[in-house]
Amino acid sequence: MTLIRPHVTLFHRHLKNPILTALMWPYPAHTVFNAGATLLPDGTTLLLCRVED
């Protein structure tokens, strides 16, 4: 018998993804990978991304 455990959603995809694009970057970039975001204690949103130039 296999037990099926309900999973908790750890991440939520933003409806307006991608939040950052290569066209928004201050230098020529091929791709921007939006890796994650978090809210800081002061309410500021911090975005983590990886850029392929």
Residue 17 backbone phi and psi in degrees, to 5: -60, 145
pTM confidence score: 0.51
pLDDT of residue 1: 65
List the chain domain ranges: 22-52
pLDDT of residue 41: 97
pLDDT tens track for 1-53: 677 878 888 877 778 877 788 898 899 999 988 778 889 999 999 988 888 88
Give the largest Cα separation in the chain, rounded: 56
pLDDT of residue 14: 74
Q: What gap in Å lies between CA 36 and CA 49, rounded to an integer?
A: 7
DSSP 8: -
Cα-Cα-Cα-Cα torsion 10, 14, 38, 45, nearest 10 degrees, comes to: -170
